[in-house]
Structure 1
């Protein structure tokens, strides 16, 4: 009798996780699409506005991240109201707690780079010095790694696809750091200030937009652990 109850409870847990995974997948499609569009628009705006000094670049993209987070919260709240569910539900809290350490680390790394950049002299014109641009590429790679870790952690409450997408960011960030170390050591690295914005736009804009479109087009995916 106890074994039957145990099996029934496990079956209910598995069914609940599968339903939650499908729900999170539907919720992720618009979120990834909007965040991707924000990333691409921010990259273009940064280039048009010639935001090239290190401190301005870091502050600008931290503000972009704050705007993207606000949009994610608004979309999540709207989806919760539409589904007649509480916004700050236990599953939402679990996802937030899973992502919080990596996102906090990314924020603190960004603030550390910002403080260091503010102590340096501002070049004229303020489009960044060569060493600053190398540091900005490294910062973008670190942000990608931490963001990938956050997505991977959230993926344990959603679907395997989100975990794989998190690995994409981790691999991209590590690859950029390796490329940066090899080319910089060989004095072959040529990074212009607008390249840093394009890198951010590709990492956090284009890739997320593509993933959001993929989720819209593919519908439900098999839930795998």
Structure 2
């Protein structure tokens, strides 16, 4: 009896996580698009600063992006809160808490390491963030929809590739593009946090329209 009750409870948890994943897939599109445009805007700002040779400290780069992350997460949290309120369910559900705790290790490691390297090499800060962000998304496991897991893999793979290429050819690429360390960091953030989020967000919206065409 106890085994059957445990199995039933386990099935309920799995079903709940699958339902939450479906909901989060729908909500991830506007959040990703918002975050993508935000990353593009900040990245372009820093890229412009680099081109006109205005000095920007590594810590300013770090904290500007940290604030952007807070803004993006707040917008995502607002969407989840509004959905939970509409459905009459608890916003701080066990699934949400599990997701936050699962993402925390990669997020904390990425922030600590990047904070230590940003003053010496700004682009290393971005190179640390990209794969760590991918690992954080993948840590969500079954709580994340398939499209979001693909986004996680995109960040992890692209982050590793960019890191390996930059470690070997970084100086040559910088000279070819006419950028300094600030411009390099800005470009990396635009290509990943900007472009990948936009592709994910608009991709989810397009697939949703294909499944639910307007009559």
TM-score class, shorter: 0.7 to 0.9
1:207 aligns with 2:188: no
Pick closer, same or farther for the CA change 1:14–1:155 going to 2, 3 Å: closer
1:176 aligns with 2:162: yes
Matches of 1:109 and 1:2, distance apart in 2: 46
| Structure (1 or 2) with the greater helix fraction | 2
Aligned residues: 201
Contact 2:84 2:90 survives alignment (8 Å): yes
Matches of 1:194 and 1:182, distance apart in 2: 18
What does 1:101-180 align with in structure 2 at a 5 Å threshold? 101-114=105-118, 117=119, 132=120, 135-180=121-166
Alignment TM-score, normalising by the size of structure 1: 0.76
- Aligned-residue RMSD, C-alpha: 2.8
Shift of 1:174: 1.0
User: Which is worse superposed, 53-62 or 4-13?
Assistant: 4-13
Pick closer, same or farther for the CA change 1:10–1:85 going to 2, 3 Å: closer
1:64 paired residue among 45, 64, 68: 68
Contact 2:125 2:185 survives alignment (8 Å): no
Contact 2:21 2:142 survives alignment (8 Å): no
Matches of 1:70 and 1:5, distance apart in 2: 38
Segments of structure 1 that go 5 or more residues without pairing to the other structure are 118-131, 221-225
Pick closer, same or farther for the CA change 1:183–1:48 going to 2, 3 Å: closer
1:97 aligns with 2:81: no
Shift of 1:10: 5.7
Shift of 1:201: 1.6
Matches of 1:7 and 1:61, distance apart in 2: 44
Segments of structure 2 that go 5 or more residues without pairing to the other structure are 210-215
Pick closer, same or farther for the CA change 1:70–1:20 going to 2, 3 Å: closer
Shift of 1:159: 2.0
Shift of 1:12: 4.1
Pick closer, same or farther for the CA change 1:108–1:168 going to 2, 3 Å: same
Pick closer, same or farther for the CA change 1:141–1:4 going to 2, 3 Å: same
